[in-house]
């Protein structure tokens, strides 16, 4: 009784309610399932992490871009003022002194001159006419020109560090940061280009005549039927930008997933950029703008975009002025940009031109002040954000190192669990290795032999077609007559041998038909070797062993070429392929001589065949023997 009571007390007391609580409160993840769950969470956390980095980098690029239009012109004017003052001072004094400029002043002056020269060059270039002239000619394609320009740009960038601010810094080359940093630059350039295109479309539509039909392209499909013209015009812009966001999210999600990277690495990238801003801003010896240095680190080129913007802006001003000149006085007085935003997409407004067309000198100056204010506002907010991130950087780095070590330990445990120690034990593979060692391959069980005499070549090949341990056929002819005086013997994989031999046979015969003469044995061997070497470098190489025997009617000499599956070719007095060559090469070496007769060669081949039948473990039933001489190719018996 006591034993029964003890046993019953050790049994778990299960009720329906307890079972329900266990099912309800049980954890669905063990230690390795927790790792998988974390990977899924990281996968879906990438969009937020990457967008934080993209937003910070976007404003850095904006600050650098606005610097070109606000601070850089003022710095250039300051340099010109300094040069003018020093020049006047030297002119008034008898002692002439050379005008010295520091490095930053020289750089500012050079950038200003470069922008002016590029803008002047762009003003004299009609991109539309150039595009249609290239499309109209048939000598060179448009995509070829784009590729040439891209290669030329890379060559120009290779002349030094930071050519036109278009290179990554050395610290980012080959680094993981180069991928998100390049995406930041791409995002900003895309936003700028879409803005420029949208503004130009608005101006062109505002200057169009009144029409009851919409002149918008059919690709500008409104998302909703009651959308205004501007909303319809912005629809493709939103679609393109949303597609860019989706592509970036998926790309970085898969990069981090398959490289076991946490989304917090993008916070680390933000910390790096913040540190560069803070440390560079505290370095008073270096007078270069720190935002420019950081934007250069991520590979942003501000000067080319600035020149493009100036070019597009000049075209826009010209379009506005032309539209105003075509209007009468009453139409000019009714200019209203707000009318554009309320006009339905099915109709075109007629009396709407941007207010920018009425800009005078005072409004232009006001816009300059406003642009400077926006630049300073963006810059001060970037620096404030960078200082806050930098102050808390060490704590986040310590936490990230701890989490990374934990993730690495889970990954190692997962690998150890997936790899079976029993299957990895080399002792389990000993029997398989012995079987593979003892079992000869099909091509090695075949036998080919060739002997050159004074005016002939005698060749022999077994007639067995075997697969593994089974003889499938005993009347196989393993030779092909290439032409009247050349023969090819082959062994190897059954499919490769027939295909390759027939390919060589037909090409050699085609050469004879086209040229009226047959290939010599040397030319045939060279062609065959080249074809075999070419296939060796492809995805499907031929596994064949060859003997090419022939009689050269131009020199009245016989030739024999030995070729293996690697494309090695050599002319020999006698040769053999297969395991049988281990038994016959010594016999051939002992009894062969250059002046051997046909009868002596028959006896020598008979010795080799008898040796194989007495010592070789494989039973080769029959052989096909052929002679090639000045009379052609014929089959004989011995």
Confidence of residue 432 (pLDDT cuts 50, 70, 90): very low
DSSP state of 493: -
Q: Please tell me the distance from the alpha carbon of residue 266 to that of residue 55, in angstroms, as a whole number.
A: 12
Other beta carbons less than 10 A from residue 625's beta carbon:
19
pLDDT at 402: 77
Residue 475, SS3? coil
Confidence of residue 592 (pLDDT cuts 50, 70, 90): very high
63 with 378: CB under 8 angstroms? Answer: yes
Q: Please tell me the distance from the alpha carbon of residue 577 to that of residue 445, in angstroms, as a whole number.
A: 9
pLDDT at 143: 73
Please write the tens of the pLDDT for every residue from 70-96.
888 888 888 888 888 887 777 776 666
* DSSP H/E element including 78: helix 71-92
pLDDT at 341: 41
Please write the tens of the pLDDT for every residue from 480-519.
999 989 999 999 888 888 899 999 999 999 998 888 888 9
pLDDT at 80: 87
Q: Is the pTM of this model over 0.85?
A: no
**Bigger pLDDT: 137 vs 411:** 137
pLDDT at 352: 39
Tell how strand 544-552 and strand 486-492 pair up: antiparallel
Domains of the chain, each with CATH number or no CATH: 33-407 (no CATH), 440-636 (3.60.20.10)
pLDDT at 144: 78
Confidence of residue 569 (pLDDT cuts 50, 70, 90): very high
Sequence-separated contacts (24+) of 120-125 with Cβ below 8 Å: 122/307, 122/308, 122/310, 122/311, 123/311, 123/314
Confidence of residue 97 (pLDDT cuts 50, 70, 90): low
pLDDT at 255: 83
Q: Please tell me the distance from the alpha carbon of residue 181 to that of residue 183, in angstroms, as a whole number.
A: 5
Confidence of residue 35 (pLDDT cuts 50, 70, 90): low
Q: Is 350 a residue whose pLDDT tops 50? A: no
pLDDT at 562: 94
pLDDT at 202: 76
pLDDT at 227: 62
| Distance from chain centroid for Cα 334 | 55
List, edge to edge, every strand of the sheet that includes 569-571: 479-481, 486-492, 544-552, 557-563, 569-571
pLDDT at 505: 92
Q: Is 414 a residue whose pLDDT tops 70? A: no
Exposed/middle/buried for residue 362 (C-beta within 10 Å: 0-12, 13-18, 19+)? exposed
Length of the chain: 638
Confidence of residue 27 (pLDDT cuts 50, 70, 90): low
Average pLDDT, the chain: 76
Confidence of residue 418 (pLDDT cuts 50, 70, 90): low
In order of 39, 256, 536, the CA distances from 261 in angstroms are 9, 5, 40
The listed range with the strongest mean pLDDT (143-152, 420-429, 493-502) is 493-502
**Bigger pLDDT: 600 vs 200:** 600
Q: Is 383 a residue whose pLDDT tops 50? A: yes
| Residue position matching structure tokens 């398959």 | 258
Q: Please tell me the distance from the alpha carbon of residue 139 to that of residue 71, in angstroms, as a whole number.
A: 46
Please write the tens of the pLDDT for every residue from 170-221.
343 345 567 788 888 888 888 888 888 888 777 777 655 555 445 555 555 5
pLDDT at 6: 44
Q: Please tell me the distance from the alpha carbon of residue 409 to that of residue 626, in angstroms, as a whole number.
A: 70
Question: Which residues are 634's β-sheet partners?
Answer: 627
Confidence of residue 384 (pLDDT cuts 50, 70, 90): confident
Confidence of residue 228 (pLDDT cuts 50, 70, 90): low
pLDDT at 357: 43
DSSP-assigned letters across all residues of 318-378: HHHHHHHHTS-HHHHHT--THHHHHSBTTS--SS---GGGG--HHHHHHHHHHHHHHHHHH
Tell how strand 457-462 and strand 574-577 pair up: unpaired
Q: Is 438 a residue whose pLDDT tops 50? A: no
Confidence of residue 355 (pLDDT cuts 50, 70, 90): very low
Mean pLDDT across 116-135: 80
Mean pLDDT across 323-343: 51
* DSSP H/E element including 417: helix 393-418
Q: Please tell me the distance from the alpha carbon of residue 625 to that of residue 479, in angstroms, as a whole number.
A: 10
Q: Is 589 a residue whose pLDDT tops 70? A: yes
> Looking at 362-371, 412-421, 588-597, which range is the least confident one?
412-421
Q: Is 294 a residue whose pLDDT tops 90? A: no
Confidence of residue 337 (pLDDT cuts 50, 70, 90): very low
pLDDT at 339: 42
Exposed/middle/buried for residue 291 (C-beta within 10 Å: 0-12, 13-18, 19+)? buried
Mean pLDDT across 437-458: 75
pLDDT at 95: 61
Candidates 552, 595, 589; CA nearest to 574 is 589
The two structure tokens encoding residue 554: 């131009």
Exposed/middle/buried for residue 498 (C-beta within 10 Å: 0-12, 13-18, 19+)? middle
Mean pLDDT across 532-552: 89
> Looking at 17-21, 319-323, 520-524, 617-621, which range is the least confident one?
319-323
DSSP-assigned letters across all residues of 167-216: S--TTTTTSTTHHHHHHHHHHHHHHHHHHHHHHHHHHHHHTSPP-SS--S
């Amino acid at each position: 009784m006591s034993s029964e009571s003890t046993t019953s007390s050790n049994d778990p007391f299960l009720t329906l309610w307890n079972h329900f609580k266990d099912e309800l409160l049980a954890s669905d993840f063990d230690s390795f399932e927790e790792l998988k769950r974390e990977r899924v969470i990281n996968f879906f956390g990438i969009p937020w992490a990457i967008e934080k980095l993209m937003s910070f980098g976007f404003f850095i690029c904006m600050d650098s871009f606005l610097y070109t239009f606000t601070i850089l012109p003022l710095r250039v004017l300051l340099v010109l003022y300094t040069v003018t003052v020093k020049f006047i001072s030297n002119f008034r004094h008898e002692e002439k002194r050379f005008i010295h400029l520091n490095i930053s002043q020289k750089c500012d002056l050079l950038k200003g001159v470069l922008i002016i020269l590029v803008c002047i060059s762009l003003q004299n270039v009609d991109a539309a006419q150039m595009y249609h002239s290239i499309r109209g000619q048939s000598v060179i394609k448009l995509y070829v020109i784009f590729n040439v320009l891209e290669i030329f740009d890379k060559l120009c960038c290779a002349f030094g560090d930071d050519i036109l601010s278009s290179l990554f810094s050395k610290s980012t080359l080959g680094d993981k940061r180069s991928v998100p940093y390049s995406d930041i630059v791409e995002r900003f350039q895309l936003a700028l280009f879409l803005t420029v295109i949208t503004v130009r479309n608005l101006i062109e539509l505002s200057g169009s005549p009144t029409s009851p039909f919409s002149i918008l392209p059919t690709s500008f499909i409104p998302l909703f039927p009651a959308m205004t013209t501007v909303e319809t015009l912005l629809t493709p812009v939103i679609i393109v930008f949303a597609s860019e966001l989706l592509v970036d999210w998926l790309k970085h999600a898969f990069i981090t997933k398959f490289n076991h990277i946490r989304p917090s690495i993008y916070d680390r990238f933000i910390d790096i950029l913040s540190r560069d801003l803070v440390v560079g801003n505290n370095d008073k010896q270096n007078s270069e703008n720190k935002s420019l240095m950081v934007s250069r680190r991520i590979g942003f080129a501000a000067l080319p975009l600035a020149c493009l913007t100036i070019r597009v802006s000049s075209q826009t001003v010209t379009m506005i002025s032309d539209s105003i000149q075509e209007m009468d006085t009453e139409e000019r007085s009714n200019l209203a940009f707000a009318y554009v935003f309320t006009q339905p997409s099915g109709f075109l407004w007629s009396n709407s031109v941007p207010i920018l067309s009425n800009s005078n000198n005072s409004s232009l100056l006001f816009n300059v002040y406003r642009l400077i204010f926006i630049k300073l506002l963006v810059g001060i907010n970037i620096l404030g954000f960078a200082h806050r991130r930098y102050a808390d950087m060490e704590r986040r780095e310590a936490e990230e190192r701890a989490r990374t070590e934990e993730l690495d330990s889970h990954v190692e445990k997962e690998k150890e669990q997936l790899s079976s120690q029993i299957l990895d034990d080399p002792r389990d593979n000993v029997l398989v290795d012995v079987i593979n060692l003892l079992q000869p391959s099909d091509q090695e069980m075949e036998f080919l032999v060739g002997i050159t005499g004074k005016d002939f070549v005698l060749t022999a090949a077994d007639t067995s077609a075997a697969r593994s341990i089974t003889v499938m056929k005993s009347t196989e002819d393993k030779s092909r007559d290439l032409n009247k005086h050349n023969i090819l013997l082959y062994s190897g994989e059954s499919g490769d041998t027939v295909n390759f031999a027939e390919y060589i046979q037909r090409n050699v015969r085609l050469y004879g038909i086209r040229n009226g003469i047959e290939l010599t044995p040397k030319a045939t061997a060279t062609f065959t070797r080249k074809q075999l070497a070419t296939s060796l470098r492809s995805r499907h190489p031929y596994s064949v062993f060859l003997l090419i025997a022939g009689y050269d009617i131009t020199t009245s000499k016989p030739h024999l070429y030995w070729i293996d599956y690697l494309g090695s070719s050599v002319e020999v007095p006698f040769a053999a392929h297969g395991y049988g060559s281990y038994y016959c090469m010594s016999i051939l070496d002992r009894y062969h001589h250059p002046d051997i007769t046909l009868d002596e060669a028959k006896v020598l081949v008979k010795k080799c065949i008898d040796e194989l039948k007495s010592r070789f473990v494989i039973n080769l039933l029959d052989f096909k023997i052929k002679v090639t001489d000045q009379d052609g190719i014929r089959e004989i018996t011995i």
